[in-house]
Amino acid sequence: MEVGGMCEHKVSLFENVIKQMEVARPYLPNVEDDLFEVLKYPKETLIMHLSVRMDDGKVKVFSAYRSHHNNALGPYKGGVRYHPQVTLDDVMALSVLMTWKCAVVGLPYGGGKGGIACNPKEMSQGELERLSRAYALAVSRFVGVDYDIPAPDVNTNPQIMAWFLDTYEKVKGWSEPGVYTGKPMVLGGSEGRKDATSRGGAYVTREAMKVFGIKEGATCAIQGFGNVGSFAHKLYKELLGLKVIAVSDIGGGVYNPNGFDHDKLLKVLNETGTVANYPDGDKISNEELLELNVDILVPAAIENVITEENAPRIKAKLISELANGPVTPEADKILFDKGVICLPDILTNAGGVTVSYFEWIQNRTGHYWPIQKIYEELDRMMTNAFLAVYEVHRKYNIDMRTAAYVLAIGKVAEATKVRGIWP
Residue 222 CA to residue 246 CA, distance in Å, equals: 6
SS (H, E, C) 310-351: CHHHCCCCEEECCCCCCECHHHHHHHHHHCCEEECHHHHCCH
Residue type at 45 in one-letter notation: T
Beta-carbon-side half-sphere exposure of residue 44 (alpha carbons within 13 Å): 8
- What residues contact 235, with CB distance under 8 A and at least 6 apart? 195, 198, 199, 202
* CA neighbor of 323 nearest in space, from 158, 91, 94, 161: 94
Task: Answer whether the bond into residue 257 is a cis peptide, omega within 30°.
Answer: no
Residue 225 CA to residue 233 CA, distance in Å, equals: 8
End-to-end Cα separation, the chain, in angstroms: 35
Backbone angles phi, psi at 84, to 5 degrees: -60, -30
E-strand stretches of 263-320: 282-284, 296-299, 318-320
Residue 140 CA to residue 138 CA, distance in Å, equals: 6
CA of residue 2 relative to chain centroid, distance: 8
Residue 98 CA to residue 364 CA, distance in Å, equals: 22
Which of 19, 58, 101, 113 does the annotation list as catalytic?
A: 113
Strand partners, 79: 151
* DSSP 8-state class, residue 144: B
113 is catalytic: yes
A 10 A CB-CB count for 62 gives 17
Strand partners, 63: 49
Q: Is the dihedral angle over the CA atoms 193, 195, 200, 206 positive or is it negative? A: negative
Residue 298 CA to residue 224 CA, distance in Å, equals: 9
DSSP, collapsed to helix, strand or coil, labels residue 143 as coil
Task: Report the residue count for the chain.
Answer: 423
- Residues noted as catalytic: 113
